[in-house]
């Protein structure tokens, strides 16, 4: 989950685009896995870093 975190912090890609970029076909599954790993949803992390 380091690569998605880096992309969320440094690009303007959407969460869905990032999910696909790192190999997840389903953005909802990506969000669930990311939240379990990072403790926050990818959208929350993205908004905090914009």
Give residue-wise pLDDT tens across range 1-48.
899 999 999 999 999 999 999 999 999 999 999 999 999 999 888 777
| Interacting residues of 18 by C-beta distance below 8 A, sequence separation 6+ | 4, 7, 8, 11, 30, 42
Q: Is the pLDDT of residue 49 over 80?
A: no
Asked if 38 and 18 touch (Cβ cutoff 8 Å), the reply is no
Asked if 19 and 30 touch (Cβ cutoff 8 Å), the reply is yes
Which pLDDT does position 8 carry in this prediction?
92
Which pLDDT does position 34 carry in this prediction?
96
Asked if 48 and 41 touch (Cβ cutoff 8 Å), the reply is no
Could you count the other beta carbons within 10 Å of the beta carbon of residue 47?
11
Cα–Cα distance measured from residue 44 to residue 47, given in angstroms and rounded to the nearest whole number:
5
Which pLDDT does position 5 carry in this prediction?
93
Which pLDDT does position 20 carry in this prediction?
97
């Amino acid at each position: 989950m380091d690569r998605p975190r880096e992309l969320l912090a440094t690009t303007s890609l959407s969460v869905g685009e990032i999910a696909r970029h790192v190999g997840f076909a389903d953005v909802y599954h990506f969000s669930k896995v990311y939240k379990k790993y990072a403790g926050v949803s990818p959208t929350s992390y993205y908004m905090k870093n914009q």
